[in-house]
Structure 1
Amino acid sequence: MVKELIINSTPNGVTIALLQDKQLVELNTEHINNNYAVGDIYLGRIKKIMPGLNAAFVDVGYEKDAFLHYLDLGPQVQSLIKLTKIVKNGSYKEKLLNSFKLEQDINKSGKISEILNRNMLLPVQIAKEPISTKGPRLSSDLSIAGRFVVLVPFSDVISISKKIKNNSERNRLKKIVESIKPKNFGVIIRTVSEGKGVAELQKDLLDLIAKWESFATRLPLTEPSKKVLGEMGRASTILRDILNADFANIHVNDPTIYEEVRSYIQGISPELERIVKFYKQREPIFEHFGVDKQIKGAFGKTVNLPGGAYLVVEHTEALHVIDVNSGNRTAHPENQEENAFQVNKEAAKEIARQLRLRDMGGIVVIDFIDMHKPTNRKELFEYLREQMSLDRAKHTILPPSKFGLVQITRQRVRPEMNIVTNEKCPACDGTGEIKASIILMDDIENNLNYILNEQNEKNITLCVHPYIEAYIKKGIYSRQWQWFFKYGKRIKVKGEPSYYLTEFHFLNSKEEEIKL
């Protein structure tokens, strides 16, 4: 599986497309003014305690207060509160936690009013970006993620990814981390750490410790509701999480981002630095690599599949619904069951891609084509799980119900990617109505009179639809001849097949459009 990353920088932000075997599978947009990215740490001020919800609303500078639930406080929130107080008072001079005395873990079934109070200052981390009318969702169980490990303050626990199955490898990694981690810091060992040496793990951990020291340095100087520590850019974050030997190319059209990505990869995988390439051509980068065309085809209500089947995607406030239709698919005209099974497998693969591409979260209900054989239903379920295994977002897939519906819950931490693929009609400007065709010639002649008499243009060309061109030139005493006798100038008329029927434009002697 060959992967490519296409990074398109525009004045409004950065859009990052992930391609697998030339097919678009993920699309991420990072706006320039996005100050609430997942992983950012803010110095929040508690605005309101809600005992009924066992939660608090926190001011982090967003237009709406952010939400912090008791279960997201983290077991060592008392230690975080204590550290914040003594750091703000200037009585704690260390950057690490070697001499810091940890507080007891909070009760898992406790009340938030026992822990927090109004106007208290508390460092909080963005767990879910603002979505729709909701503010950010927060956690005070702080963590700083690296490529191989995650640093967790106020803990001494070393956790290892469940995807690392080999016991000897798990023990090896645990011993390495135990020997290099600082006191009062826990570490989560990520899946990509498998097979890595001491030097790589130590470098990654030292980078995270440096970030914590930066956090400790900035905390006493940070005003309430302001950012203390920011997550790296979306491009670097994606590379941190998924960069591997499968990546063939990373194309970037912005020199600043190019240098950022190149230096980042040089630091974590020097052997892959050569794959970062600066795109210099005049053609837009997404157009050159076929991303724009794929975006137009993949977003929208109807998604066509290669075999003639198609999906219908509907969004509601509570859930997403995907309906699978066979369309004109007739691969097995004499075997309806086999045909339904093949269409459903094709649809399952595309649905897994659509969930990643649109970043659809919450509840997703899929209505597959009915199949009567239990073996086919089971095989389809296993195939869908296999396709969804590539998705980095947490998800759960339920087996088909007796009505043939498959339900998926998928983690949502960012707003859903929604791209409008329908274009505004140039004829009606989106109104659904156009000017009466009977007055078209009057409009043309009024503009012609203005251009020739008021603007004193010469050698002008009228561009119209070929049907209108034929009408203007028709007959011995045509409209074109009438204009010649009226204005004493020959008006060139040119047919443009791409024009809609009532569209017309005037060009000057330099072939430039005359703005009316």
Structure 2
Amino acid sequence: MSNELIINGTQNGCRLALLKDKRLLEFHTEDSGNQFNVGDIYLGTVKKIAPGMNAAFVDIGYEKDAFLHYLDLGPQVRSLNKYTKQAQNKRNNNFRLNGFKSEEDINKLGKINQVLAKGQQILVQVVKEPISTKGPRLSCELSIAGRYIVLVPFSNAVHVSKKVTSKEERKRLIRLLNSIRPENFGIIVRTVAEGKDVAELDRDLRNLLDKWEKGIKALKTAKPRDKVIGEMGRASSILRDMLNESFDQIVSDDEEVFEEVQNYIRSIAPDKEKIVKHYTGKAKIFENFGVEKQLKSLFGQSVSLRNGGYLIIEHTEAMHVIDVNSGNKSNAEADQETTALKVNLEAANEVARQLRLRDMGGIVIIDFIDMRLPENKRVLYERMKEEMKDDRSKFTILPLTKFGLMQITRQRVRPELNIQTKEVCPTCNGSGTITASIVVADQIEENIDYILTKQNEKHLTVALHPYLHAYFTAGFLSRRMNWFLKYWRWVNLEKDSSLGLTEFVLRTKDGEEIEIK
């Protein structure tokens, strides 16, 4: 098993593809201008108290006020408010909470107007990004995530991930963390900390404390709506959560992102620094690693399975529905029950992949092919749990109902990712008729002739469909070679499967697009 992270820099940010054994497992887009990421901590202002909902609406700069429920305040919210006020009044230089006197915990069954007031400034953390018509969801239980641990201010407890099942290891981690835990800070030990020594855990803890200290220093001069502590970039957060021995390479075509990732890897896992590479190839990075093709084939309404079955995926405002179909697999096995089990097991693998790939959250209903035998239903249920065990989002899976339906709830913290896979025909613009496609080769040659002779361009690159690339480069005495013999200049041809068959783009040496005549 191998993992690769491919990062494509764009004008507005970057696109990230996580590959497992060359198959696309996760896809993320990161907008450089985007705010309100999960984990960001803001100085907000209470705009409205809603007693009927036992919640408050807080202004953190988004077009709609963010939502803060009483249960998300956390027991130590009074301590947080007291510390925030002291930091803003510049009376407190105690960034590490040493000697800080905590306030009494709030009542779990209390009311929001007993804790917050309209116009009050509070520190809040984004726990769910803006989705559809809703603003961000907030919490006052602040936490700062590291590679091995999560730092929780105004707490005094050490908790270990439930996925660490060994009693001896849990006791060891609790003992180690209690020995280095700073005063008034709680710690949540992550699964990847299993087996790590105290030096690695201590280094991670110090990094998080430094991040907290910088944020509190910024709070002294912060204005309402300001981000006080920001979550790291999406690329670094993926590596923080998933980097392990199975990672083969991390490749970026953006030099700035490459340096950022390299510095981060150097700080958390120096022995893995050599797997970070800067891509400088002629073909686009997503084309080179086969990501573009997978994106186009995996985000449609219908998703094919390897052995002939297929999934139909429907999205509604309330839930996601996935229908499993056997397709041409129906006659491949001896009996219907065996066929149904094999298709369902394969579908379970693809469903788990699709949930991560599209970042689908909320309620998911899967209509598997009906099976009669209880042991087969149990096998399918266990397979689905096994396939989803590496999912970083919180989820719950229920066994199959008597109607063959499986219900899954998956934590939704970001808007669902959707990529348009149906395209308007680039030549007819949806009209159904096109000019003769055979003339595109002549159009390309006419433009090349004009640019090399009339505009006297020294270096020219043509991006075109792979079929056209093959047409111009086939054979030793290819059409491209004839251009070289005619103009004594080499024309670079670049495959781009995102272009239509009759589309092409001309670029200068500096990558500037040349207007087609």
TM-score range, shorter chain: 0.7 to 0.9
Q: How far apart are 1:83 and its partner, in Å?
A: 0.8
Q: Give the Cα–Cα distance (whole angstroms) in 2 for the partners of residues 218 and 331 of structure 1.
A: 66
SS at match of 2:329: coil
5 Å-filtered alignment, 1:274-353, equals: 274-330=274-330, 332-353=332-353
Larger displacement relative to structure 2 (68-77 or 178-187): 178-187
Q: How far apart are 1:238 and its partner, in Å?
A: 0.6
Letter aligned with residue 233 of structure 1: G
Q: Give the Cα–Cα distance (whole angstroms) in 2 for the partners of residues 12 and 176 of structure 1.
A: 43
Q: How far apart are 1:166 and its partner, in Å?
A: 2.1
Letter aligned with residue 279 of structure 1: Y
Q: How far apart are 1:175 and its partner, in Å?
A: 2.1
Q: Give the Cα–Cα distance (whole angstroms) in 2 for the partners of residues 300 and 345 of structure 1.
A: 21
SS at match of 1:323: strand
State the match for 2:10 in structure 1. Answer: 10
What per-residue deviation string (whole Å, max 9, x for no partner) do you get for residues 4-54 of structure 1?
Answer: 111111112111111111111101111111111110000000000001111
1:117 matched to 2:133? The reply is no
1:262 matched to 2:278? The reply is no
State the match for 1:475 in structure 2. Answer: none
Q: How far apart are 1:133 and its partner, in Å?
A: 1.1
Q: How far apart are 1:350 and its partner, in Å?
A: 0.4
Q: Give the Cα–Cα distance (whole angstroms) in 2 for the partners of residues 118 and 150 of structure 1.
A: 31
Letter aligned with residue 220 of structure 1: K
State the match for 1:195 in structure 2. Answer: 195
Q: Residues 38 and 127 of structure 1 are in contact (CA less than 8 Å); yes or no, is this contact kept in structure 2?
A: yes
Q: Residues 300 and 421 of structure 1 are in contact (CA less than 8 Å); yes or no, is this contact kept in structure 2?
A: yes
State the match for 1:74 in structure 2. Answer: 74
The alignment of Structure 1 onto Structure 2 pairs a total of residues equal to 451
Q: Residues 24 and 294 of structure 2 are in contact (CA less than 8 Å); yes or no, is this contact kept in structure 1?
A: yes
5 Å-filtered alignment, 1:434-445, equals: 434=433
State the match for 1:382 in structure 2. Answer: 382
State the match for 2:20 in structure 1. Answer: 20
State the match for 1:49 in structure 2. Answer: 49
Q: How far apart are 1:337 and its partner, in Å?
A: 1.1
Residues 183, 343 of structure 1: alpha-carbon distance in 2 compared, 3 angstrom cutoff: same
Letter aligned with residue 254 of structure 2: D
State the match for 2:392 in structure 1. Answer: 392
Q: Residues 13 and 30 of structure 2 are in contact (CA less than 8 Å); yes or no, is this contact kept in structure 1?
A: yes
State the match for 1:490 in structure 2. Answer: none
Residues 515, 11 of structure 1: alpha-carbon distance in 2 compared, 3 angstrom cutoff: closer
State the match for 2:489 in structure 1. Answer: none
State the match for 2:106 in structure 1. Answer: 106
State the match for 1:228 in structure 2. Answer: 228
Q: Give the Cα–Cα distance (whole angstroms) in 1 for the partners of residues 284 and 426 of structure 2.
A: 23
Q: How far apart are 1:207 and its partner, in Å?
A: 0.4
Q: How far apart are 1:139 and its partner, in Å?
A: 0.5
State the match for 1:156 in structure 2. Answer: 156
Q: Give the Cα–Cα distance (whole angstroms) in 2 for the partners of residues 170 and 410 of structure 1.
A: 27
State the match for 2:246 in structure 1. Answer: 246
Letter aligned with residue 302 of structure 2: T
Residues 373, 263 of structure 1: alpha-carbon distance in 2 compared, 3 angstrom cutoff: same
Q: Residues 330 and 336 of structure 2 are in contact (CA less than 8 Å); yes or no, is this contact kept in structure 1?
A: no
SS at match of 1:328: helix
Larger displacement relative to structure 2 (45-54 or 162-171): 162-171
Q: Residues 332 and 338 of structure 1 are in contact (CA less than 8 Å); yes or no, is this contact kept in structure 2?
A: no
Residues 316, 280 of structure 1: alpha-carbon distance in 2 compared, 3 angstrom cutoff: same
Larger displacement relative to structure 2 (322-331 or 98-107): 322-331
Letter aligned with residue 423 of structure 2: E
Q: How far apart are 1:514 and its partner, in Å?
A: 9.4
Q: Any gaps of 5 or more consecutive residues in structure 1?
A: 441-456, 459-502, 506-511
Q: Give the Cα–Cα distance (whole angstroms) in 2 for the partners of residues 44 and 302 of structure 1.
A: 43
Q: Give the Cα–Cα distance (whole angstroms) in 1 for the partners of residues 387 and 9 of structure 2.
A: 30
Q: How far apart are 1:220 and its partner, in Å?
A: 1.6
1:404 matched to 2:400? The reply is no
State the match for 2:63 in structure 1. Answer: 63
Q: Any gaps of 5 or more consecutive residues in structure 2?
A: 437-452, 455-501, 505-512
Q: How far apart are 1:434 and its partner, in Å?
A: 4.0
Residues 221, 513 of structure 1: alpha-carbon distance in 2 compared, 3 angstrom cutoff: closer
Residues 504, 70 of structure 1: alpha-carbon distance in 2 compared, 3 angstrom cutoff: closer
Q: Give the Cα–Cα distance (whole angstroms) in 2 for the partners of residues 86 and 288 of structure 1.
A: 54
Q: How far apart are 1:282 and its partner, in Å?
A: 1.4
5 Å-filtered alignment, 1:31-46, equals: 31-46=31-46
Letter aligned with residue 265 of structure 1: I
SS at match of 1:7: strand
RMSD: 2.4
Q: Residues 47 and 119 of structure 1 are in contact (CA less than 8 Å); yes or no, is this contact kept in structure 2?
A: yes
Q: What TM-score do you get using the length of structure 2 for normalisation? A: 0.84
State the match for 2:425 in structure 1. Answer: 425
SS at match of 2:364: strand
5 Å-filtered alignment, 1:172-191, equals: 172-191=172-191
What per-residue deviation string (whole Å, max 9, x for no partner) do you get for residues 71-130 of structure 1?
Answer: 110110000111111211122121111121100111111111110000000000010111
State the match for 2:210 in structure 1. Answer: 210
What is the percent sequence identity of the aligned residues? 57
Q: How far apart are 1:427 and its partner, in Å?
A: 3.6
Larger displacement relative to structure 2 (160-169 or 284-293): 160-169
Q: How far apart are 1:433 and its partner, in Å?
A: 4.7
Q: Give the Cα–Cα distance (whole angstroms) in 2 for the partners of residues 8 and 515 of structure 1.
A: 27
Residues 204, 504 of structure 1: alpha-carbon distance in 2 compared, 3 angstrom cutoff: closer
Q: Residues 164 and 194 of structure 2 are in contact (CA less than 8 Å); yes or no, is this contact kept in structure 1?
A: yes
State the match for 1:363 in structure 2. Answer: 363
Q: How far apart are 1:161 and its partner, in Å?
A: 1.3
Letter aligned with residue 296 of structure 2: K
Q: How far apart are 1:167 and its partner, in Å?
A: 2.4
Q: Give the Cα–Cα distance (whole angstroms) in 2 for the partners of residues 201 and 53 of structure 1.
A: 41
State the match for 1:416 in structure 2. Answer: 416
Residues 171, 515 of structure 1: alpha-carbon distance in 2 compared, 3 angstrom cutoff: closer
SS at match of 2:294: helix
Q: Residues 14 and 31 of structure 2 are in contact (CA less than 8 Å); yes or no, is this contact kept in structure 1?
A: yes
Q: Give the Cα–Cα distance (whole angstroms) in 1 for the partners of residues 514 and 330 of structure 2.
A: 50
State the match for 2:143 in structure 1. Answer: 143
Residues 79, 504 of structure 1: alpha-carbon distance in 2 compared, 3 angstrom cutoff: closer
Q: Residues 27 and 358 of structure 2 are in contact (CA less than 8 Å); yes or no, is this contact kept in structure 1?
A: yes
Q: How far apart are 1:332 and its partner, in Å?
A: 3.2
Letter aligned with residue 23 of structure 1: R
Q: How far apart are 1:367 and its partner, in Å?
A: 0.7
Q: Give the Cα–Cα distance (whole angstroms) in 2 for the partners of residues 400 and 35 of structure 1.
A: 40
Q: Give the Cα–Cα distance (whole angstroms) in 1 for the partners of residues 50 and 393 of structure 2.
A: 30
What per-residue deviation string (whole Å, max 9, x for no partner) do you get for residues 220-260 of structure 1?
Answer: 21100111111111100010011011101111111111111
Residues 513, 291 of structure 1: alpha-carbon distance in 2 compared, 3 angstrom cutoff: closer
Residues 216, 338 of structure 1: alpha-carbon distance in 2 compared, 3 angstrom cutoff: same
SS at match of 1:262: helix
Q: Residues 158 and 174 of structure 2 are in contact (CA less than 8 Å); yes or no, is this contact kept in structure 1?
A: yes
State the match for 1:373 in structure 2. Answer: 373
